[in-house]
Amino acid sequence: MTTTTQPLLLKRRSTWVAAATLVIVLGGGAWALNHNKAFGAKPEASKTPPVQVTTARVTPQNVQVYRSGIGTVASMATVTVKARIDGQLDKVGFVEGQDVKADQLLAQLDPRTLQAQLAQAQATKAKDQAQLVNARADLKRYTTLIAQDAATQQQVDMQKALVNQLEATVQTDAAQVQFAEVQLSFTRIASPMNGRVGARLVDPGNIVHAADTNGLVVINQIDPIAVQFTLPEDAVQDINRVQQQQSGQPLSVVAYDRAGNQMLGTGKLILLNNQIDTTSGTVQLKGSFANPQHTLWPGQYVNVRLDLDHRPDSLTVPAAAVQRGQDSTYIWVVDAENKADNVPVHMLQIADGVAVIDKGLAAGQRVVVDGQYKLKPGSSIVEPPPAKKAAASGSGN
């Protein structure tokens, strides 16, 4: 009885050990499987999430290509009115700061001395003319007498010489009279052009001299008026190209105030300087403007826009899309799979929040206009919901 029971107990104990071992193995396998699944999910979680950006489409538009610069308004012509002779200033014929017309009296010098000199020259001329008339009459008589053998050839020749001498004297007198008339005309100082006078520099009663450096008054021509400005040297080729295409027609120049908000006038380009300033790398230009309302004033600083040519169907993007690197300009472009890549572009101009691109893009492409700083080549992108996008664009405006 005892011998039989002992093997049976040993057999049951072996079965329990085997069962326990199987449970441990199965439990360890399940734990290892769950552990591997947990750790295997980490690579999926470590993938780079899409970058939230705002995009816009490349849009063809009709654009006006122009160059902008800063200019200074200058009078089209400036004249410092001076006396051409010495004399006393009798009166002034203008009001300071007022417009004057060409040939308008500006100043009158005392003319009495020159009037007397003119009268003296005229009297001398009259006396010599009378002597010439008498000498010619004598020559005519001598010519008649020599035909009758009543005069000698020497007398005739001497009379001819006297007539020639008196004729030269009368010519000299006429020149003296003309000189005196010109000198007398200098006592009346008239405006050489239409313009606006400045402050009176000499008061009536003063003695003025032809050698005075300041003059009597300064006249500036302000209608039309000029605007002088500079552009970078690379603008020269564009200007020459457009002028050749337009058969020499002047380019349009537009002047704005310092803030760039108010247009002050529209004119035409009258000067592209014949050399580039090597110190600044710029070229000087000048525009002529009609200025009837005097919106432009000499010495005024203005913003200048030189219109070059009108380009239909030019590719445009929002200015915010343009990024500048060390060597080039580029734009982040999004493909059909919402992958972003930076594409080098050539920008023709950027103005009023719009950039004109002539190389590197095609119409309809999507470009990133916000969120570029998070992007890397090949990054996936996602756009914000329409409500957030509209709110972002509204706050940007």
pLDDT > 60? residue 1: no
Structure tokens at 78: 């400036």
Domains recognised in the chain with CATH numbers: 62-74+222-396 (2.40.30.170), 111-186 (1.10.287)
Which pLDDT tens digit goes with each residue over 303-357?
Answer: 999 998 888 888 999 999 999 887 789 999 999 899 999 999 988 888 778 899 9
Q: Are strands 105-109 and 87-92 parallel, antiparallel or unpaired?
A: antiparallel
Cβ neighbour number for residue 29 with a 10 Å cutoff: 10
The pLDDT of residue 15: 52
pLDDT at residue 311, rounded to an integer: 82
> Residue 241 — pLDDT band, cuts 50, 70, 90?
confident
C-alpha distances in Å from residue 238, one per residue of 151, 243, 283, 348, 371: 88, 9, 13, 11, 35
- Upper half-sphere CA count for residue 214 (Cβ side, 13 Å): 9
- Using CA atoms of 139, 144, 150, 154 in order, give the dihedral in degrees to the nearest 10: 40
Mean pLDDT of 225-249: 88
Give me the percent of the chain exceeding a pLDDT of 90: 58
What are 160-170's pLDDT values in tens digits? 999 999 999 99
Output the pLDDT for position 76: 93
**For residues 259 and 267, what is the distance between their CA atoms, to the nearest angstrom?**
19
CA nearest to 228, candidates 338, 69, 340? 69
Q: Please determine, for residue 172, whether its predicted confidence score (pLDDT) is greater than 90.
A: yes
Q: Is the bond leading into 224 cis (omega within 30 degrees of zero)?
A: yes
Q: Which alpha helices (DSSP H) does the chain contain, by range? A: 2-40, 42-45, 112-147, 153-185, 235-245, 386-396
Which pLDDT band, with edges at 50, 70 and 90, does 23 fall under? very low
Distance between CA atoms of 328 and 343, rounded to whole angstroms? 10
Q: What is the mean pLDDT of residues 206-233?
A: 93
pTM more than 0.75: no
The one-character DSSP state at 42 is: H
Judged by DSSP in three states, 150 sits in coil
Facing residues of 343 across strands?
331
Predicted local confidence at residue 102, as pLDDT: 93
Alpha-carbon distance of 366 to 58, in angstroms, equals 6
C-alpha angle 189-191-193 in degrees, rounded to nearest 5: 155
Contact 285, 228 (CB under 8 A): yes
Query: Token match 């103005």: residue?
Result: 351
Tens digit of each residue's pLDDT (9 = 90 or more) over 34-84: 554 444 444 444 467 888 999 999 999 888 888 889 999 999 999 999 999
Q: What rounded mean pLDDT belongs to the chain? A: 85
Residues 6+ positions from 48 with CB-CB distance below 8 Å = 379, 380
Do residues 287 and 227 make contact, with C-beta atoms less than 8 angstroms apart? yes
Beta-bridge partners for 334: 340, 366
Q: Which amino acid makes up residue 371?
A: G
Question: In this predicted model, what pLDDT tens digit does every residue of 359-386 receive, in sequence order?
Answer: 889 999 999 999 888 888 988 989 887 6
